[in-house]
Amino acid sequence: MKVDTSSIIIFTDGACTGNPGPGGWAGIVAMPDGRIHEVGGYNPQTTNNRMEMVSAIRALGILEPPLSCDVILYTDSTYLIRGITQWVFGWRTRGWKSAEGKDVANRDLWEELLRQIGRLKPTTVNWKYVRGHSGYPGNERCDQIAVSYAKGKPEPLYVGATDGYFVDLNELPAEDSLPDMKPKGSSGSSKGGSGKSGGGPVTYLSYFNGVVTRHTTWAECERLVKGRNAKFKKAKSRDEEREILSSWGLDPQMAID
């Protein structure tokens, strides 16, 4: 899906080396006038869910109302999306108690997130789910920043014009439904090691300097594309690989290294 230049586009992500443990958060804010603003930060002892929430709070926090367009925010956190679009209203009505009568976790951040959304009204924040490591540069760049902060080796943050940005934001994630909720008691994921849980892709394709490469893992693909204006995407079958090549304007039957 092509970038909507009439909206403010935001990507956010959080990471944690251990859950709880040292964490990092990141956001990319792309303005309709062509400005890009990366944000990121560190917390010495936190959880992955808190970092996901902080990333959204801080990214929305740099916006100055009144805004002349809506905001589209992409995140791979189902906890964040379900919380802000479904659960938070019941929690607030019950005095920040869950349906079981327990104190709601991360209440301080939920209240701050609601404050940020209220501050931007009448602008609407549209929450969009994107699967982690699905080959969309905005999401992958946020992951890179968040993990770097969690590991105590922060990436330099970019603030400037789109023309000078090394991340290709010309393609936005397609609409993707939220995955089924995990059963209660299942552990949350932590990023910085193996990344978020879920079925891994069959392959990753990258395209850099006129060469298409097939990678068997995201780590292998990341080593090639990191910090470069390269194309990359996850493929679950050979047919999907050919579709990706066609979308990049390449011959779908070409040989892949």
* Catalytic residue of the set 23, 24, 27, 76: 76
User: Is pLDDT above 70 for 164?
Assistant: yes
Residue-wise pLDDT for 88-122, tens only, equals: 999 999 999 988 899 999 999 999 999 999 999 99
Domain 1-172: assigned CATH number: 3.30.420.10
Q: Is 111 a catalytic residue?
A: no
Q: Are 55 and 5 in contact (CB under 8 A)?
A: no
Confidence of residue 185 (pLDDT cuts 50, 70, 90): very low
Q: Is 239 a catalytic residue?
A: no
Calculate the CA 209 to chain-centre distance: 26
Pairing of β 125-129 and β 71-75? parallel
User: Is pLDDT above 60 for 186?
Assistant: no
- Top pLDDT among 257 and 46 is at 46
For 168, residues 6+ apart whose C-beta sits below 8 A from its C-beta are 137, 229, 231
Q: What is the pLDDT of residue 181?
A: 65
Q: Is 215 a catalytic residue?
A: no
Residue-wise pLDDT for 121-131, tens only, equals: 999 999 999 98
Q: Is 52 a catalytic residue?
A: yes
Q: What is the pLDDT of residue 182?
A: 60
Residue-wise pLDDT for 10-20, tens only, equals: 999 999 998 89
DSSP 47: -
Domain boundaries, the chain: 1-172, 198-257
- Top pLDDT among 209 and 95 is at 95
Residue-wise pLDDT for 214-253, tens only, equals: 888 878 888 888 777 788 887 877 777 877 887 777 777 7
Measured between alpha carbons, how far is 161 from 157 in angstroms, rounded to an integer?
13
Q: What is the pLDDT of residue 207?
A: 85
* Catalytic residue of the set 38, 112, 143, 241: 143
User: Is pLDDT above 60 for 199?
Assistant: no
Angle at 251 between CA 249 and CA 257, to 5 degrees: 110
Q: What is the pLDDT of residue 1?
A: 46
**What whole-number percentage of the chain has pLDDT above 70?**
89
Q: Is 13 a catalytic residue?
A: yes
Measured between alpha carbons, how far is 190 from 20 in angstroms, rounded to an integer?
8
Q: What is the pLDDT of residue 183?
A: 53
Average of per-residue pLDDT values in the chain: 86
